[in-house]
Amino acid sequence: MDSSDLLPVGRRVAYWRGRRKLSQQVFADRLGKSKSWVDKVERGVRSLDKVSTLQDVAAVLRIDTAVLLGRDAQPAAVTERAEGVERIGEALSTYEIALCRPAARRVLLPADRLVRTVEHAWIMFEHARYPQVIALLPDLLAGAQRVHADDPGWGRPLLVQAYRVTASLLVKLGEAGLGWLAADRAMATATGDPMLVAAATVQLGQALRATGRTRAAMSATLAAAYRIAPPDPDGGTSQGLSLCGTLLIQAALAAARHGDDHTTTDLIDEAAGMAARVGDGHDHHHTAFGPTAVDLARVAAALDLGEAREAVVWHEKATTRDGWRWLPAEHRAAYLIDAARAYLQTDDPVSAGRILMEADRIAPAEIRHRPAGRDLLAQATRDPTAPTALIQLAATLGVS
């Protein structure tokens, strides 16, 4: 049991602030509060009696509100995840190579092993084994950076892949700012190679969208997509079409988040044409692109456009495809969280609960480690008709 579990809320705030190495003034500035306000909270003079304030405090401390309230059933796992993300952040914040400093005190992996490790990281990510990926990334990043410095030609694709999987994981875990940094590093490393740039732009689009920069996300992903688009609409390799189509989907999702339904439809339809030529069952450039992935994107886009009923219709069509079973577990479970949100918005909490339980079966980490999954689980269990199994899952995870 973590020593913070027995503390009052105010003392728990102080405990986690200390763990994050934040002064009271810096913590107050990030919250938009005064230092005096922070001091009173930590001494128990002032209570945290608003849900919104609790959420703001938890967000700055990079912990779940359940941990802040002492209700998390697995505080060690939550702490381990937060500390793992910190280590990844430290790996992204080192500049030893550029500054010609000696490498940090860690044993760097040999180049051939790094190639296997980055592919292993992708496999673990696609199976939603997020704790394992968190553990891999700090050493992987350090090793890939060193290999790239020693041999830029050979090491560039390796480092871009390391940054891409890092960005994907960080955005998934709600660390969009760090995810953007990793994606930006991937873009800088890939410069000069159109296909590598296009691959890196997939994660850049995700990070920009997660930070609310929808216009920038659409602009970047469209530019990258059309740069590699085949001149003949019926031409192009499956690998190139998968990457181009994925970028069009990313642009469409950004347009949907921006409320542009016409552009959203046009871009998804364009991606659908490419998907028909690629087919399902592939994972070129770690995109899982194909007709089923396009249909799942229609669900997410409809939801962002406020068309929850249309999202439900597309969902019930997409999951009957054979290609549904061929998608990575991470892709399916992440998508099911969107589908559950659509059912909640159409006043069907029973179906929402059923789908969340299915997501937990396919990839438990999507519910247990991803903030979006935990938040939706909490929302679903507030309904009086929520399935018993869902309520028990929420209780086990300390989600309320």
pLDDT in tens, 39-87: 988 888 887 767 678 888 888 887 777 777 765 444 455 667 778 888 9
Q: Tell me what pLDDT residue 99 has.
A: 62
pLDDT in tens, 99-146: 666 555 555 667 788 899 999 999 999 999 999 999 999 999 999 998
Q: Tell me what pLDDT residue 98 has.
A: 64
Q: What is the DSSP letter of 231?
A: S
- Structural domains of the chain ordered from first start: 1-71 (1.10.260.40), 75-210 (1.25.40)
pLDDT in tens, 244-257: 999 999 999 999 99
pLDDT in tens, 204-216: 999 999 999 999 9
Kindly tell me the number of DSSP H helices and DSSP E strands found in the chain.
22, 0
Q: How many CA atoms lie within 13 A of 161 on its CB side?
A: 25
pLDDT band at 384 (very low <50, low <70, confident <90, very high): confident
**Is 4's pLDDT higher than 50?**
no
For residues 220-247, average pLDDT: 92
Q: Tell me what pLDDT residue 108 has.
A: 66
pLDDT band at 6 (very low <50, low <70, confident <90, very high): very low
pLDDT band at 297 (very low <50, low <70, confident <90, very high): very high
**CA 79 to chain CA mean position, Å:** 18
Q: Give the residue among 315, 211, 288 at the shortest CA–CA distance from 254.
A: 211
For residues 252-273, average pLDDT: 96
Instruction: Confirm if 97 and 145 have CB atoms less than 8 A apart.
Output: yes
**CA 319 – CA 332 distance, rounded (Å):** 9
- Global pTM exceeds 0.85: no
Q: What is the largest CA-CA distance in the chain?
A: 69
pLDDT in tens, 148-182: 988 888 899 999 999 999 999 999 998 999 999 99
**CA 140 – CA 158 distance, rounded (Å):** 10
Q: What is the DSSP string of 180-227?
A: HHHHHHHHHHHTT-HHHHHHHHHHHHHHHHHTT-HHHHHHHHHHHHHH
